[in-house]
Amino acid sequence: MPEKIKVYHLEDYKIMREGVKFLLSKDDEIEMVGGSKTADEVYSYLDKNKVDVLILDIYLDGLDVKTVDGFEVCSTVHKKYPDVKVIAHSVYDDADRVARIMNAGAVGFVSKKSGYEELVHAIKVAYTGKKYICIETSKKLKNLNEFLEGMVDTLRSENEFFSNREKEVLELLAKGYSSKDIAKELFITERTVETHRKNMVEKAKVKNTVELVAYASSRGFIKS
Amino acid sequence: MPEKIKVYHLEDYKIMREGVKFLLSKDDEIEMVGGSKTADEVYSYLDKNKVDVLILDIYLDGLDVKTVDGFEVCSTVHKKYPDVKVIAHSVYDDADRVARIMNAGAVGFVSKKSGYEELVHAIKVAYTGKKYICIETSKKLKNLNEFLEGMVDTLRSENEFFSNREKEVLELLAKGYSSKDIAKELFITERTVETHRKNMVEKAKVKNTVELVAYASSRGFIKS
DNA sequence: TAGCTTATCAGGGATTTCCCTGATTTTTGC
DNA sequence: GCAAAAATCAGGGAAATCCCTGATAAGCTA
């Protein structure tokens, strides 16, 4: 099967992250690789991992100290990680904000009033390098469609983070399984399981399995 | 099996309704019976059907003609359908709005910054006839506890589960620290650290530290 | 005051993880 | 079809965790 579109979600409301994560994961072509509520977490994730599409909540009022501005995040991501397509996801769908966010480098705009199919659609369109504005909003802003003009296609490379087998091991680790338990479950030897653990610890640059699971959990690698 | 708690959701953002519907449906005791974006749809549903809990987004800016006020909806529901427990679900978690909505007859308040487990918890508490305010918000309003006194039955404290010392240990564990490392950091013996770990593993009913961290992380006990 | 929780400390031993050294086979990408 | 990545397997030994048995002291509360 072809590689899935790797999607990261920046949004300060946890329940929204949780919901979107599930809804988008229903689509076979999409893989939710992470989600967080601060821009810094996004940057540090993007430094190490490949992400195709970033869903960005424009207004992050932020629990953290400094107030983060969604437009700024968008243009920073656009400059620093040009391969990442940004889709703005917002409750505000007025002309001014849509224009600003598209100028800041977003390739898509989806109102939160729209359902998840709109978001799925926007992601797929963005992935092909085109721009998209959700039906709801574009109806409202039909004079603004000049903004939807061609953009340069970007390159892509980088590698996957955890392999499928590693992810299987990871999930069982998070359930409290020992290497021996996992070996039985997956019909491989304990040694192999240990190798997978070791490799993941190295990849994630963490000290041990406990931190690995904390790391993976906070980035949404572990289902539950 | 006992009957499920029938939950209706009033919320003007479709994607949020979709997400919440799934997230809450994962719980065996909860049944999502409906959801809509206007108050009128709620009323007509309540006229014909039994609903135990109504999740109410306080500010419905509303695509529909007349602007609907969440506080008004709350008090209308409270008077007209006294058996329906209203839980306010909002992005605004300031003292003023919390107080107003509780006075308008809500039995629970959950910030959208909280995850779905908080909503699940609030629903179950509400169903038993008690009042509840989410951790996030009650932390924020802790100086205003005078006004919360008597108004709420369950101010779920974080200490409900792990003690402060245990949480300190937990945070360091999630950073990959060994018992020895933690002992140095906290100026206690390795043995004591081990006891804290053991106690947490027992409390959380998990198999080992790895699962403990996965458990804690998914419930937001670990900052980062 | 009696009982509960929290926080501290400890020995001994079984089990597990971690770390170093390797290796072969299978799958996948170009 | 070749090279790279992923998946498999292995020994040996140090370190850490896990599991059982305890204990003491402080603080809260009914």
Report domain extents, chain A. Answer: 5-147, 164-218
Tell whether domain B5-156 is in CATH 3.40.50.300: no
Cβ atoms of residues B144 and B182 within 8 Å: no
| Beta strands B154-155; B5-10: pairing state | unpaired
∠ CA A171-B21-A33, rounded to 5°:
35
CATH topology of domain A5-147: Rossmann fold (3.40.50)
Q: Is the pLDDT of residue A2 over 50?
A: yes
Q: Do B22 and A20 touch (CB under 8 A)?
A: no
CA distance B151 to B83: 19
Measured CA to CA in angstroms, residue A130 lies from A87, A127, B5, B211 at distances of 11, 7, 45, 42
CA distance B7 to B21: 9
CATH of domain B161-218: 1.10.10.10
Q: Which residue of B has its CA nearest to A118?
A: B15
Nucleotide in closest CA–C1' contact with B168: C7
Measured CA to CA in angstroms, residue A16 lies from A3, A36, B47, B190 at distances of 26, 11, 30, 41
Q: Give the DSSP H/E element, type plus range, for residue A36.
A: strand A30-36
Question: What is the average per-residue pLDDT within A130-154?
Answer: 51
CATH of domain A164-218: 1.10.10.10
Structure tokens at A200: 């993941």
Rounded to two decimals, the pTM is 0.59
Amino acid occupying residue B67: T
Mean pLDDT highest for which of A130-134, A219-223, B88-92, B139-143? B88-92
Identity of the residue in A19, A20, A222 whose CB atom sits nearest the CB atom of B214: A222
Q: Note the pLDDT tens digit of each residue in A162-179.
A: 778 888 899 899 999 999
Q: Do B15 and A114 touch (CB under 8 A)?
A: yes
Q: Give the DSSP H/E element, type plus range, for residue B111.
A: strand B108-111
Q: Which residues pair with B66 in a beta bridge?
A: none
Best residue of B94, B217, B224 to probe chain A, by most A CBs closer than 10 Å: B217
Per-residue pLDDT, B68: 60
Protein-strand C interface by C-beta, 7 A = A 3, 178-180, 194-195, 197-198, 201, 207-210; B 159, 163-166, 186, 188-189, 191-192, 195-196
Per-residue pLDDT, A50: 84
Per-residue pLDDT, A153: 22
User: Cα torsion for A39, A40, A41, A45, to the nearest 10°?
Assistant: 100
Cβ atoms of residues A78 and A96 within 8 Å: no
